[in-house]
Amino acid sequence: MTALIGAPRDRADGRAKITGTARYSAENDFPGLVYAALVLSDIPAGRVHAIETAQAAKLPGVLKIYTHENAPKAKQQKKEGEVIWRNLALLQDDEVRYDRQPVALVVADTYERAIDAASRVRVTYVKTDAATDFAKADTYIPPETNKGPEVKERGDADAAFASAPVKIDRIYTTPQEHHNPMEPHATVALWKGDDLTVYDATQGVFPTRARLAYTFDLPVEQVHVISPYIGGGFGCKGSVWPHTALAAMAARDLGRPVKLALERPQMFGSVGYRPLTHQRLALGADPSGKLISTIHEVKNNTSMFDLFVEPSTAITRMLYAVPNLRYKQEVARLNFGTPTFMRAPGESSGSFALESAMDELAYEVGVDPLALRLLNYAETDPDEGTPYSSKSLRECYRAAAERFGWSKRSSAPRSMHEGRELIGWGMATSSYPTNRSMAAAYVRIAADGSVIAATGTQELGTGSYTVYAQVAAEALGISPDRVRFELGDTTLPQGPVSGGSQTAASVSPAVRAAALDARDQVLAFASADPKSPLFGATPGGVTVTDGRFALTSDPSKGATYAEILARHPAAAIEGRAEAKPDPEIKKQYAMHAFGVQFAEVRIDADTGMIRVTRMVGAFASGRILNEKLAHSQYIGGMTWAIGMALHEATRTDPRNGRVMNANLSEYLVPVNADVPALEAILIPEEDPYVNPLGVKGIGEIGIVGGAAAIANAVFHATGKRVRDLPIGPDKLV
């Protein structure tokens, strides 16, 4: 039987999505369903003085208006020790901490009536001074968080930098960015007694269950979270936000199902974003470009009431061999909502600074940018001193450079052109850590040989339904068409949050182990059955191909799953398994995926208009579960890199912290015309340590380094170094 893992199979859920039968959270309907709409603050700091609800409450169909004066009690503070939980604005007090904070909730019998009534609620405030200027904000180094210490040094980075023959000392900045998945956040909540069921657009059904149980002081067994499809998340749906808890609060109080779906402008409020970063990146090197010292100091904004550290120094700590390194992470409290994880949090923003600085160093010493990276190649993790579980970065460099034609590059800035167009080539390294969490799964084989496999993971559009069916099918020796995969439900075995590129690396081993358990149970029954042609067979003496067990010594003797289970007293055989990382192996090896990106830009010499015309990336991410879906993930990340480099920026009014482009007309993201034919090369890689299948996550590495590659290409084309994203004509002309 041909290997199923890695095969470029079409999406198992593709037909459901294109025919509209895939049901997303906001599409769930129930008898008696009512609709909620948020009323948001229009000041960044102060207190609610009064809320006038009488006019809105008299409108037809309005059921109730919740404010801090009448909202049911709920726990809005983070649980002790749970550092990734957000403090939520749940109408528990009159304090306003950021613009667009929920200050009231209107529930009506139709969506239109709820929206209309919410627009008629009048709120007056007592304003206080607000901190909205990142440049003027006080900063501090936060205490140690779940990401480790925020200040660390190896060697003496400052002394080494001071004595280095060649120095690059620059400031790089990245703006606030908002996720903007196609599907906005939405929740449908309903209660049956003290049992809560929530249909939620979430990247983690089990973390959502835990947070709601805590918020409403319930045992987790009384909370049921369902999310079979998600229309994109990119990190913003990895946490529980106020709207989810408020929908559940109203549903409990009213005794009716409540739907709360955010409008697009509300996606720029209480559901997170990538924070601003101000990064000092200092490189000290010898005349050949060999690194002697690296200093990376990062400041990002957080909210007044919560802590979020954007770990932009993470990639600097491990990517290049440098004996002296110091990094520092600081935060600035502003009257904005709390930032959150956004695709490749830390690595995406940090790689822009690091890889831009490496490009500047290459020009300073007169070395090809790719040669400079090879000169400083890290054979072992320089931060921890441990070997890599696998590292195929040299192969990535070679394959992508050859495909791109890097050897034909003219090194001098502004030396490549065609007519009035300036042509620039740039490159940058990509890397992302290989993360893994505990996951459990079951695989149930029915009497007819069909299979249901399940775990409580999520489908964000990445292909979860497809790849895990492939994993189960290969372990069972059957066609994936015989496997139906179920996910997105807390009644299923526990799976991790879909974030940190960890889902495939966590869930696949559990699915495989559960499938092998089920297969072994079937064989054990056949082996113990005197009437079976497999009587007395041992696991080592049997092969399974196309759903048929056969003796290795005599393939004519065998039986299918259906033939074996026809004699089994139970209706089905079920295998269960749990898989989790080995902490000892994690201590022994550094685990990362690696890659490289090359970019070509063409810039109008008169207007400064920039077009990305080519990108080639090569990535080594362990064993690939599905070549087609992996390629889609990689080029999706590369598209994000185009947006990060040239388009995306959340613009806020410094007077009041108001987002001024809270829509997809003015918050620019790449569209088809902005995206060239992207090429992603999949470098084969075996890794026996990351997990039993050798799978590394791929969801985020595609964006890492991409913005820097484009920025470096812009410099090569124009001779102007832009260190402040996004890059536009205004920064070139």
Q: Which residue has the tokens 């008299």?
A: 58
Angle, CA of 715, 718 and 722, to the nearest 5° = 45
What does the alpha-carbon distance between residue 503 and residue 500 come to, in Å, rounded to a whole number? 8
Place of tokens 């063409």: 602
Beta partners for residue 39, in sequence order: 104
Query: CB under 8 Å to 23, separation ≥6 — which residues?
Result: 228, 229
What residues contact residue 289 under an 8 Å CB cut-off, 6+ apart?
Answer: 166, 361, 362, 365, 367, 372, 375, 376
Phi, psi of 583 (to 5 degrees): -60, -30
By the 8 A CB rule, do 391 and 673 touch? no
In sequence order, what are the beta bridge partners of 445? Answer: 451, 573
Taking each helix axis from N to C end, the angle separating 205-215 and 242-254, rounded to the nearest 10 degrees, works out to 60
SS3 14: helix
Distance between CA 590 and CA 38 in Å, rounded? 46
Q: Report the alpha-carbon distance of residue 596 to residue 554 in Å, rounded.
A: 49
Cα–Cα separations (whole angstroms), residue 643 to 373, 670, 728: 25, 5, 11
Burial 621-647 (b: 16+ CB within 10 A, else e): bbbbbbeebbbbbbbbbbbbbbbbbbb
Rounded CA gap, 529 and 414, in Å?
78
The residue behind tokens 């913003």 is: 236
d(CA 527, CA 541): 11
Decide if 559 contacts 537 (C-beta within 8 A): no
User: In the 8-state DSSP scheme, what is residue 344?
Assistant: S
The answer to whether the Cα torsion of 166, 174, 501, 686 is positive or negative is negative
Burial 99-113 (b: 16+ CB within 10 A, else e): bbbbbbbbbbbeeeb
Question: Which DSSP category does 695 fall into?
Answer: B
The 3-state DSSP class for residue 531 equals coil
Residues in contact with 510: Cβ distance below 8 Å, sequence separation at least 6, in sequence order = 439, 440, 441, 455, 493, 495, 577, 578, 579
Residue 380 to residue 690: CA distance in whole angstroms: 16
- The tokens describing 696, both together, are 């590394």
- Identify whether 364 is a catalytic site residue: no
Of 285, 286, 299, 314, the C-alpha closest to 382 is 314
Element at 240 (helix H, strand E): none
Strands of the sheet containing 572-579, edge to edge, are: 483-486, 451-454, 439-446, 572-579
The secondary structure of residue 579, as a DSSP letter, is E
User: What is the Cα–Cα distance from 81 to 101, expressed in whole angstroms?
Assistant: 25
Tokens 């294109």 sit at which residue? 18
The dihedrals phi and psi of 244, each to the nearest 5 degrees, come to -65, -50
CA 410 to CA 484: how far, in whole Å? Answer: 53
Report the SS3 class of residue 309.
coil
What letter would DSSP give residue 386?
Answer: P
Task: Name the active-site residue from 177, 183, 347, 700.
Answer: 700
Q: Report the alpha-carbon distance of residue 651 to residue 177 in Å, rounded.
A: 9
Amino acid, res. 174:
T
Task: Name every residue whose Cβ is closer than 8 Å to that of residue 209 and which is 6 or more positions away in sequence.
Answer: 220, 223, 224, 225, 490
Write out the catalytic residue numbers: 700
